[in-house]
Structure 1
Amino acid sequence: MRVAKPTTVGLSALLAGFLLAPVAQAYELEIHGSNTVGATLAPMLVSGYLERIGDGPVVARGNGLENEKELLVQTGNGKVSVLVAAHGSSTGFKALASGQADVWASSRPVKPSEAEAFRSRADLTSPDSEHVIAIDGLAILVHPSNPLNAVSIDTLGQIFSGQIRNWSELGGPDRPIRLYARDDRSGTWDTFKSLVLGETYSLQPDALRYESNDQLSDDVSRDPSGIGFSGLASVRDSKLLAVSDGNAPALKPNQLTVASEDYPLSRRLFMYTGGSGTPAMARELVEFALGPDGQALVADSGFVSQNPVAVKPRFDAGTPESFQRLTANYRRLTVNFRFSEGRTKLDNKARRDLTRLQQYLSDQGRSADDLLLIGFADTQSHELRAQMISELRALSVRKALQETGVPDVAYTGYGQYMPVGGQGSPRNGRVEVWIKER
């Protein structure tokens, strides 16, 4: 075979192409991981942070790769550039472990295997490394014409495993069900697999898989046969279903049910950092994200902020009259205190919420006398035991608040009544915070 020699024009074209090709750029900060976090929320938080440190407007632009974004600002020390790469939660851990990422954005908690693999560098489960930046509700989506309004977690498992294949089996039209799911690299998929499929069900192989929440939701909204799941910020034109767990009432994701994590498919969104080796800019970004201004951006992005808000809840028919009397002159704050180990050890998010609650009281001109803590327990072998556990939980939060300068808060326990999850669900063990109406 005869091979033609490159002409002078051909060599020039090759050289020009080489010079114009994208060159690897060194970023001052790289965030890798979840599409749920990285599509909108992380760029908004980065922009808010850069506006604080910059001398001019923040510029956002693509870098030629799908689901990646660069954000740039000019400072007194030169240009600062940040990369947000949103290819899935598992990719973020790999980037953090390899040293490419400064921050791992994740829509699921770190896995035990990941924490163990990273342990020589930092404890990713510690407050120094694990940062809850927002609360999200895993949204169950159908076409707007679908007559279904609520579904149980177990029924969802049967649908997505292919055991229920036609909408007529759920009281809808005689129409086959088409499944839409996130891809295997997604923390949204990991959350759905953990909370819905569990060890009982496996995803039907013919389900359509997506890297993007928004694209999945858009396709469901155009398909009368479709059902899918996404982050709450990506509901868009689809219809949102209420979800129940066990004998607990079906709840739709909203500000109160998601922020309090009572909604059965609520989940935390994280930023993970590498402990003491974390660069200063990454630490500053995380602190901004966790603070009041960062949490305001969380709300603007469509997720649920952790800044406490007072809400007058609507009780359903199953709410005991004694509880309605107890809370008659109160509003509920959109914060629940939950526990990481045993019955009384507060988790990483709860520790930060202590500071948020203290700040809320200061901002609103309120005092500890205005608060009421109500503890709850999961079902126990004896009602008295459940009552004792619920009171101990409330007392634990009371003591923690006292250490932050909020003394002598009133507290009580409500035992094993008013569960928000099925029997054995860790969400049942909680402490609600109520504040007196003015």
Structure 2
Amino acid sequence: MPTSALLSDVQSFRAGGPDARPALVLPPAPDSLATFEVHVPQGAIDDLRLRLSLIRWPDRETVRDWSQGVPLSAAKSLIDYWLHDYDWRKFEARLNRFPQFRTRIDGVGIHFIHARSPHPQALPIVLTHGWPGSVVEFLDVIDRLTDPTRFGGRAADAFHVVVPSIPGYGFSDKPTEPGWNPGRIARAWAVLMHERLGYERWVAQGGDWGSAITHAMASQRPPGLLAAHVNLPLVVPKSAPKHPTREEQRALENIEHYLNQMAGYADQMNTRPQTIGYALNDSPLALAMWMYEKFWEWTDNRGLPEDALTRDQMLDDISLYWFTGTGTSSARLYWEGVGSTIRENSFFSNSRASSAPIDLPMGATIFPSETFLAPRSWAEASWSKLFYWNEVDEGGHFAAFEQPEIFAREMWQAFTTFRG
């Protein structure tokens, strides 16, 4: 569509009409369960296309790699694909294939996928995403978990799968007051699983912020939670070991590299999420590059994000953030979860990773390109009931997104002892 036609359509859209909404408007969430489907107004899609067609590009980086951030050529290529080839409606239909709901918990509407297994003895599991992720991360594992017999597993491996959107992310409400930190989200998930869905026995899994939330659930030990598993063990000790083992030295180097080379995004969101949020909410280019860089930096790739995830996969996630207008609200979780503890300068004394010991059964799978490769010894020191630990050969920070087959197999194996 020519830019002039797009401009005319968007002006009409903004002026009024049957679909005159600047973004997706979420229906109110009841205290019970309300079914939910995603339908982004066409005017919002046209508005995105207009913005993509009117980008004012910066000058080219002065290096020939990604050391200054996303190269201009890579940025232009992704945006060109988003504008001319990407199909949001295809993803929308795929997402709506799964049963979705919204419910009000602690004053905030929570969106979640609830896919029940055809196998009656399935074990309920809640899967929690992180940033810059969303429920998109788990779409390729839901069928593998609910019906493992279709993918080489056993009926005894089946799960009833619950995938919530973190408050401020996706199709959950944006909190309008401070206090929605991982501990509060963990308590909301317990209400969701035990009270709203009626599960008396269930398990939990998460990565990135999902790992922090899962750790919080394990510490709280809500009714029915049997065990938890993470793909990012947050088990940093209170102080650095004086005589580290080889595995501990590797972990220490991970921490140093992260703090010196990778933490700029987090520093900004930990301290001033509202400021970066103006760009993330107003510019699809800013939002896309803020996220695309992490798909490059955190995945198991050979130099390009597309080695690990397809452009459609990444743009499904980026577009979800754009249409829900959650670039700013999602960034606030850093202010809530880390920003409140960065008043001192010690990583070890302030890290969200260092926490009180957990007595609930805990397990972990280590993916080789994760940002932080925790040693088993640190997990054993923090988790008194370590029931599963495995290091796999492929995958990175977005474990389920990058390696759905490996991730599903890990879930089948890890929770075997908690069935029946």
Q: Which has the higher contact order (CA 8 A, sep 6+)?
A: 2
Structure with greater proportional helix content: 2
Q: TM-score range by the shorter chain?
A: under 0.3
Structure of greater Rg: 1
TM-score, normalised with respect to structure 2: 0.28
More strand by share: 1
Length-normalised TM-score, structure 1: 0.27
